[in-house]
Amino acid sequence: MREIENKLYQILGLCRRAGKLVSGAWAAEDLIRRGKAKLVIVSNDASETTKEKIFKLCNNRRVDVIIFGTKEKLGNCIGQSNRAIIAITSDKFKNMILDTLPDRLEVNMGVINEWRK
């Protein structure tokens, strides 16, 4: 599973360098509302209030959500400080991320939870 985790962080770094993601709750919410977000990643250690707000917004806009990583690791992989929310704006990068994930995922109300270790 560590290999998959590392690959996801590498893809997020590439996505950042390509200019195909935004980070932070405010920026991500704006993209979701404008219909530009293709995939949203929420850190495991994001607050419950943040998670609920993002899940509801993504559900209303039909945007896939993945719970993955920690704020520290998500921020580090994109060259930023701690980030609880990342929004991907590219279908290509969205598919790269989803193709990297294991087949056995828990899906709950449109939210793809981090794989169970």
On whether residue 117 sits in a domain, the answer given is: no
Structural domain including 72 reads 2-112
Closest listed residue to residue 100, CA positions, set 28, 11, 36: 11
- pLDDT one-digit tens code per residue, 48-76: 999 999 999 999 999 999 988 899 999 99
What is the rounded CA–CA span in Å between residue 43 and residue 64? 14
70-76: long-range contacts, CB 8 A cutoff, minimum separation 24: 70/43, 70/44, 70/45, 71/43, 71/45, 71/46, 73/9, 73/43, 74/12, 74/23, 74/41, 74/43, 75/23
On whether residue 79 sits in a domain, the answer given is: yes
On whether residue 78 sits in a domain, the answer given is: yes
- pLDDT one-digit tens code per residue, 36-54: 999 999 999 999 999 999 9
How many domains does the chain contain in total?
A: 1
Q: Please give the mean pLDDT across all residues of the chain.
A: 86
Q: What is the pTM of this model?
A: 0.86
What CATH number should be reported for the domain holding residue 99? Answer: 3.30.1330.30
Closest listed residue to residue 21, CA positions, set 10, 6, 7, 31: 31
* 117 has pLDDT over 50: no
